[in-house]
Amino acid sequence: MGKHNKKIKIIFLIINFILIFTISYFIFKEYNIYNNKTIINNKNKINIQKIDSEKNNILKEIDELKENITNIREIDKTINNKKEEVFKLASELEKKIKNKESDKKIIYLTFDDGPYYNTYKVLNILKKYNVKATFFTTNVNGNNCYDNPSYNCHLLYKEIAKDNHTIANHTYSHGWNRGLYASANSFMDAIIKQEELIKSYTGITTNITRFPGGSNTAGSRKNLIIEELRKRNYGWVDWTAEDGDGSNLSNYNQGWSKLMNTVTDDIEVVLFHDYHPVTTQILPNFIEYLEKNNYIILPLFYDSVMINK
C-alpha cells in the first residue's frame, strides 16, 4: 500500500511539472508576442515620426526653393529693367555726341567667331575692368572648342549671358565662302539656326547680327538679305576700328598701332576676335587707354545709332 501511494505521488508530481512547464511556456510565448508587438509598434511610431520629420523638411526645402526661384526671376527682371535704362541713356548720349552737344565718346567692343576656350580669358579681363562687350557668336566650331577640343564651348553661352554682355548672331555656319551668301534664304537659314542655338542655352532672343566677312561680302544679295533681316526685326552692324586680328596680326605692337590709327571717331565699333592671343594681350591696356581718354565702353543694343535697321 505504501509503495502504491509513493507511485501515485510521483505521477502527481510529474503531471504537476508538465502542467507548470506547459503553462510557463505559453505565458513566456505570449509575453514574447506581446513584447514583440510593443517593439514593432514603437518602431513603427519612430518610423512614422521620422517620415513626418523628413516630409516636413522636404516641404520646407520646396518652399525655400520656390522663394529662391521667385527671387531669381525678380533679379532677372531688375537686371533687364536696368539694361533698358542704361540703353535709353546711351541712346540719348549718342544723339548728343552726334550733335556735338557732349565731349564724351562711346566705344563698343565686339568679339567675333566664338565662343572659343580663349573666350574665358576675354571674359575674365572684361570682368576685372567691369566692362560689358558684345559677342557675335557662331556654331562654326561645333560643340567642341577649336582651341581646346576636349571642352564643350557651348557652355560659354551661359557665361557670356551671366556676365550681362550682349550676345549677337554671326550665323550658324559662318560659311561666307561656302554658300552662306548663295541666296537670301541660305543666309536667313543660318541666322535662324544660330538664333535657336543661342536661345536654347541662354533663353535670350537676339536681334543684332553681323555679316561674316562684313556686309559687303554678301555682294549683290546684300539688299535682299537686309530686307529679310528687317522682317525678323534684326539690325546689323559692321565695324569702324580694329587691331587686324582677323587677318595677319602677328604681334602686340602691330595690333596696337592699327587700333590707334583706326580709333578716331567719337562713336566707334571695334572688331576683335576672341580666339586671338594678341588681342588678349592688347585688351587690358586698350581698356585703360579708353578710360583715360573719355570713352564710355558699352555693349551694343538694338536702338544704337550704330545698328543698321
Q: Percentage of the chain surpassing pLDDT 70?
A: 74
Q: Does residue 173 surpass a pLDDT of 90?
A: yes
Question: In this predicted model, which residue has the larger pLDDT, 75 or 202?
Answer: 202
- Which has the minimum average pLDDT: 78-92, 115-129, 232-246, 262-276? 78-92
In terms of pLDDT, which residue wins out, 183 or 32? 183
Mean pLDDT of 122-143: 96
Tens digit of pLDDT for each residue in 61-84? Answer: 555 555 555 554 555 666 677 788
Is pLDDT at 299 greater than 80 in this prediction? yes
Domain boundaries, the chain: 103-298
CB atoms within 10 A of CB 87: 18
CATH 3.20.20.370 fits 103-298, yes or no: yes
Is residue 113 within 8 A of residue 275, CB to CB? The reply is yes
pTM listed for this prediction: 0.77
Q: What is the pLDDT of residue 58?
A: 59
3-state helix, strand, coil in the chain (%, to 5): 60, 15, 30
Q: Are 31 and 23 in contact (CB under 8 A)?
A: no
Confidence (pLDDT) at 217: 96
Percent of the chain with pLDDT over 90: 69
